[in-house]
Amino acid sequence: MKGTAMAAAALVPLAVAVLFSLSSAASAGAVQWGKLDPHFYDRSCPQAQQIVASIVGKAHYQDPRMAASLLRLHFHDCFVKGCDASLLLDSSGSIVSEKRSNPNRDSARGFEVVDEIKAALEAACPGTVSCADIVALAARDSTVMTGGPGWIVPLGRRDARGASIQGSNNDIPAPNNTLPTIITKFKLQGLDIVDLVALLGSHTIGDSRCPSFRQRLYNQTGNGLPDLTLDVSYAAALRPRCPRSGGDQNLFFLDPVTPFKFDNQYYRNILDYRGLLASDEVLLTGSPTTGDLVKLYAANQDIFFQHFAQSMVKMGNISPLTGADGEIRKHCRRVNHN
């Protein structure tokens, strides 16, 4: 596995260089004030994307789980107050960290990697590259290095001066949410059904803990019976490490077939009723519209990759702070002090 990760990590800076050259060809002219733009750092920090890619690649080589963790940070940041790096703030003064929320507590990780990237960027281009843009770039690079699609990342986000643990608890889709609830949470962010099904494809990499799906194994609807939409043999394989009580910290691959490869296997698992989370399997069982998209992506990885990349750009545009709003933090874990 480390050999594979090392090879992938070595390719990331090259892949980013290709993406950046494409963005140069696709867009020309001066960067507009208050707008996200792939060229935002062309003059102020031209090496920014290469610095991010290099450190993300090293982190992935050292820990193959890190790619999924960095990708998840971008999701959990953007769904709360927009893509403004509020998730990165530690508790201090009036700030109650989003890291303490139910979706993030004991599961959000990768903060040390972001710290390392920020330190390198501050050394190269002091006070220039935002923590929010670091998270957006790291998510793209993590997808590329695990075999997924690349996309041109619009840049110029600024960093929030506050956090919202309430927003983190309420706005991020939960593993046991119903499909209508998940659809509503995406819609509130300006994301549609295609975005929802494509973006949940990020579960092709990464892990989940036992409490996130325990009810499916033992008592899905309160009648003491397991979830009937979960494959019986898969459920039997999960139970030894996810008992009725205990084992809360045990990790399970979201995609046990190709757990470290970004591909369309996630959707094939769902078609086999082997989606780990209820929020995964409900994409097939909860609606013909989402079910048809699951079938499409399971059959055609190229279309999944295309839709995923488009939806990641769309998600990255959720309520960014630009222009004179927010700040460029010197340290991603705390706001600046004048």
The helix/strand/coil state of 291 is helix
Does the annotation place 98 within a ligand binding site?
A: yes
**Spatial contact of 279 and 182, defined as CB atoms under 8 Å apart:** yes
Does the annotation place 258 within a ligand binding site?
A: yes
> CA-CA distance, 86 to 72, in Å (whole number)?
14
What is the H or E stretch that residue 208 is in? strand 207-209
Does the annotation place 146 within a ligand binding site?
A: no
Is the alpha carbon torsion for 308, 289, 277, 104 positive or negative?
positive
Does the annotation place 233 within a ligand binding site?
A: no
Does the annotation place 263 within a ligand binding site?
A: yes
Does the annotation place 149 within a ligand binding site?
A: no
Does the annotation place 90 within a ligand binding site?
A: no
H-only helix segments in 27-164? 48-62, 66-78, 111-124, 131-145
What is the H or E stretch that residue 14 is in? helix 2-26
Does the annotation place 94 within a ligand binding site?
A: no
Residue 135, CA atoms < 13 Å, CB-side half-sphere = 32
**Spatial contact of 179 and 77, defined as CB atoms under 8 Å apart:** no
Does the annotation place 173 within a ligand binding site?
A: yes
Structure tokens at 305: 């990759």
Q: Is 76 among the catalytic positions?
A: yes
Q: Which of 76, 307, 331, 337 is catalytic?
A: 76
> CA-CA distance, 268 to 274, in Å (whole number)?
8
> CA-CA distance, 187 to 256, in Å (whole number)?
30
Does the annotation place 86 within a ligand binding site?
A: yes
The length of the chain is: 338
Does the annotation place 207 within a ligand binding site?
A: no
Structure tokens at 88: 């990165």
Q: What string of DSSP letters covers 202-218?
A: GGGS-EEEGGGTHHHHH
**Considering only CA atoms, which of 148, 113, 116, 153 is closest in space to residue 133?**
153
**Spatial contact of 245 and 188, defined as CB atoms under 8 Å apart:** no
Does the annotation place 231 within a ligand binding site?
A: no
**Spatial contact of 173 and 279, defined as CB atoms under 8 Å apart:** yes
**Spatial contact of 129 and 45, defined as CB atoms under 8 Å apart:** yes
Binding site listing: 77, 80, 82, 84, 86, 98, 173, 203-204, 255, 258, 263
Q: Which residue positions form the known binding site for Ca(2+)?
A: 77, 80, 82, 84, 86, 98, 204, 255, 258, 263
Query: What are the residue numbers of the active site?
Result: 76
Specify binding-site residues for heme b. Answer: 203
